[in-house]
């Protein structure tokens, strides 16, 4: 019986063209799916935040989509979209929506009421309040959702081989079919590495976008004003108004 090692550098060298192409496909469709889902999730969560009774149906609908088995979903989409990238992308966007909508909504609902009221008192309309105050203050929760959705999508892409576009999942499937251990292990390790790299990059991006989360001391009397100033989400007048509101409620 010929040797069939789990780790084979010669396999990587001899098949690097195929491996790199699968890795690029896996990476690009992951990023594309998360970005599309984020573009859809932001207005959905904002609407559910503004119109409170919509939160239950929005979360319920995205939750139902998330529970559909991936193999079944991709198989259902193929007759309508054909095989290839499109059905896989649609499925990945559907799965990412629940994670993103839920985290964005939690972030928006967690904005300090004093900051929101101060901005309203200074004439901020609903749109300006959302874009200048609420979304920037909800960034930590939003970035957490993006990280979770990205890692989850990296794993789900591997199932896309049933629709003709599986990235590294295609290599895994070929390895299982031929019982080629090195091919299975190489694709698996690259999936893990891709998930870790993307998660670390998003972690660094989140830290860069929310520097106040590393410097703000909890329990201080002027925590709302400090947070607002570091975020740069409101002007000095909003920060002052928020501070005054804190003093009145202290």
pTM, 2 dp: 0.81
List of the chain residues with pLDDT < 50:
1, 217-237, 239-242, 244-250
Give the model's pLDDT for residue 176.
Answer: 86
Give the model's pLDDT for residue 94.
Answer: 93
Two structure tokens written together for 6? 């789990």
Give the model's pLDDT for residue 3.
Answer: 75
Is the CB of residue 75 less than 8 Å from the CB of residue 161? no
Would you list the DSSP string of 178-223? HT-HHHHHHHHHHHHHHHHHHHHHHHHHHHHH-THHHHPPTT-TTH
């Amino acid at each position: 019986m010929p040797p069939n090692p789990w780790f084979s550098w010669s396999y990587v060298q001899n098949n690097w063209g195929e491996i790199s192409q699968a890795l690029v496909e896996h990476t690009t469709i992951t990023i594309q799916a998360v970005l599309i889902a984020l573009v859809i999730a932001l207005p959905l969560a904002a609407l559910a935040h503004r119109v409170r009774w919509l939160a239950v149906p929005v979360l319920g609908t995205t939750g139902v989509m998330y529970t559909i088995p991936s193999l079944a979903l991709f198989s259902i989409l193929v007759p309508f979209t054909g095989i290839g990238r499109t059905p896989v992308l649609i499925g990945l966007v559907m799965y990412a929506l629940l994670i993103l909508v839920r985290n964005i909504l939690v972030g928006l609902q967690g904005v300090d009421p004093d900051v929101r009221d101060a901005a309203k008192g200074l004439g901020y309309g609903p749109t300006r309040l959302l874009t200048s105050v609420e979304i920037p203050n909800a960034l930590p929760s939003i970035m957490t959702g993006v990280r979770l959705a990205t890692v989850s999508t990296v794993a789900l892409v591997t199932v896309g081989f049933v629709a003709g576009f599986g990235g590294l999942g295609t290599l895994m499937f070929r390895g299982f079919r031929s019982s080629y251990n090195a091919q299975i292990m190489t694709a698996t390790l690259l999936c893990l590495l891709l998930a870790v790299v993307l998660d670390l990059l998003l972690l660094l991006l989140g830290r860069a976008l929310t520097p106040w989360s590393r410097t703000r001391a909890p329990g201080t009397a002027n925590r709302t004003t400090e947070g607002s100033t570091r975020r740069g989400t409101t002007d000095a007048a909003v920060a002052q108004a928020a501070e005054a509101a804190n003093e009145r409620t202290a």
